[in-house]
């Protein structure tokens, strides 16, 4: 495989960052993850951490160097991440289970497969046009589908944050699986939380990705989202990948996995507590962070195969 990849998460004007971003790859497969902890629920950042960490670790175990069945991996890892979140809440005797959205993409054999729960999005951009996109599990998306709300008005709609499907909810989440898509040279897959896509239109995203590679385009998109959202902005996070056809791309900058050891997996996962404000900010103390890390690890291990 050959690709360039960029990830970034910005706190924005919020008191904490409840988004989590991760990506990992073996010689033959790539996995990208976005999770947006739901601020209206306790410990949203914990739910997002469990989701991103659980799925990344499942990929590390199973991609040796390829996944036997990418769609089955997506369904099982996302579902088991949900169960790990519920177990975390049970251990802590929380009155309300932490919740998070999640979108995951796996690329293998030049084919992209993705799945999502909630309103974190995936865009497949080809030649400056959106060729594929997830559909939000939200009340306002129902209104868009019914023709009662224009897509451009979603960001300002009062029901925008009403999500009816997420990890950590009372019942099992509905995991939406994509059809597999054959990637072409120059295709971009972009995963983002609503802090990025909310203030921007599809046209903004496509135009910026058409002008430059993800390494330059994504920071500009984040800048643009922050400016347009202003004081009402949310955490904004993105992981984006440009796919290269290995034939004839020797001079193209990016990551090549050709020479990787079949048992090796490269992983970038943010650890819990890294972006958590200090105790003086009225948030988690150092002891609480350490306890949460242990409980996150225990919840993940219980559902890991």
Predicted local confidence at residue 282, as pLDDT:
44
CA distance 279 to 289: 10
Inter-CA distances, 251 with 195, 209, 213, 254, 255, Å = 35, 20, 15, 9, 12
Q: Average pLDDT, whole number, for the chain?
A: 89
CATH numbers and ranges of domains, the chain: 2-302 (3.60.40.10)
For residue 43, the SS3 value is coil
Q: Quick check: 135 and 122 in contact, CB under 8 A?
A: no
* pLDDT tens-digit series, residues 154-184: 666 766 778 899 999 999 999 999 999 999 9
CA distance 53 to 102: 12
Neighbours of 97 (CB within 10 A): 22
Instruction: Calculate the CA dihedral of residues 201, 207, 210, 216 and round it to 10 degrees.
Output: -80
* pLDDT tens-digit series, residues 193-248: 999 999 999 999 999 999 999 999 999 999 999 999 999 899 999 999 999 987 65
* pLDDT tens-digit series, residues 133-152: 999 998 887 787 777 777 66
- Average pLDDT (5-11) is 96
Please state whether the predicted TM-score (pTM) of the whole model is above 0.85: yes
What token pair was written down for 51? 């989701």
């Amino acid at each position: 495989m050959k690709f360039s990849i960029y990830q970034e998460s910005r706190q924005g004007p919020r008191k904490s960052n409840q988004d989590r971003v991760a990506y990992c790859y073996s010689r033959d497969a790539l996995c990208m993850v976005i999770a947006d902890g739901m601020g209206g629920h306790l410990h949203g950042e914990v739910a997002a951490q469990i989701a991103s960490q659980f799925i990344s670790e499942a990929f590390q175990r199973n991609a040796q160097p390829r996944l036997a069945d990418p769609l089955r991996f997506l369904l099982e890892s996302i579902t088991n991440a949900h169960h790990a979140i519920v177990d975390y809440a049970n251990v802590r005797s929380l009155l309300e289970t932490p919740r998070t959205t999640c979108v995951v993409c796996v690329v293998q054999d030049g084919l992209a497969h993705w799945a999502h729960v909630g309103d974190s999005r995936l865009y497949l951009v080809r030649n400056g046009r959106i060729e594929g996109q997830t559909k939000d599990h939200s009340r306002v998306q129902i209104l868009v589908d019914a023709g009662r709300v224009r897509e451009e008005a979603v960001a300002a709609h009062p029901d925008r944050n009403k999500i009816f499907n997420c990890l950590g909810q009372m019942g099992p989440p509905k995991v939406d699986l994509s059809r597999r898509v054959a990637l072409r040279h120059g295709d971009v897959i972009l995963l983002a939380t609503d802090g990025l896509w909310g203030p921007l239109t599809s046209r903004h995203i496509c135009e910026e990705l058409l002008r430059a590679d993800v390494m330059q385009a994504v920071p500009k998109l984040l800048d643009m989202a922050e400016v347009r959202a202003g004081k009402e902005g949310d955490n904004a996070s993105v992981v984006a990948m440009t796919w290269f056809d290995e034939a004839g791309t020797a001079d193209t900058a990016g990551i090549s996995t050709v020479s990787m050891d079949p048992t090796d997996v490269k992983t970038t996962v943010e650890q819990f507590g890294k972006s958590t404000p200090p105790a003086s900010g009225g948030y988690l103390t150092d002891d609480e962070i350490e306890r949460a890390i242990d409980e996150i690890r225990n919840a993940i291990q219980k559902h890991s195969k």
